[in-house]
Structure 1
Amino acid sequence: MSASLSASEITRLQSALRRLLGSPELTVNPAPRAGMSVELAVKGEVIGTIHRDDEDGDVSYAVNMVVLEEDLPRA
């Protein structure tokens, strides 16, 4: 299912996500090691991962974002 992303894909995906999410400080970072997921970060803090799916010739990207309860504002 998941394949590694090329440098060109990372650049294009970063541009698209910055535009879609309205965050110029968002970065898409290459996988830290072979076989790992590409990382999604804001201001250098990793907030999730991005997986590439090229099943049946249709390419899509899935973003998995993690928000820790300790990062939420108090109720």
Structure 2
Amino acid sequence: MKPEEIRKLEQFFKEKFQRPNMQVKRRPQKDDSAEVYMGDEFIGVLFRDDEDGDLSYNFQMAILDIDLPE
């Protein structure tokens, strides 16, 4: 992903989730995805999909059962 694209996505995450510490970072050697962090904690991967000329982004986040409240 291009730096401008990453900047726009990061701003989207900050506003949507009301978390100013969210960051979207470029993945080394990958140009179709980025990593999403909340502070220093990695929370998921953001994939770019421009199939058939329709651009969209897919956010994938795994939630471990140990992270859920009891």
Aligned pairs, number = 69
Does 2:30 match 1:35?
yes
Normalising by structure 1, report the TM-score.
0.83
Question: Percent identity over the alignment?
Answer: 35
User: Of the two structures, which has the highest relative contact order with CA contacts closer than 8 Å and spacing of 6 or more?
Assistant: 1
Q: Secondary structure at the match of 1:47?
A: strand
User: Within 5 A, what are the aligned runs for 1:5-24?
Assistant: 5-24=1-20
The residue type paired with residue 30 of structure 1 is R
Give me the whole-angstrom Cα distance separating, in 2, the residues matched to 1:15 and 1:60.
16
Q: Secondary structure at the match of 1:40?
A: strand
Gaps of 5+ in 2: none
Cα offsets for 1:14-63 (capped at 9, x unmatched):
001111111111110110x2037310110111010000001121111000
Normalising by structure 2, report the TM-score.
0.89
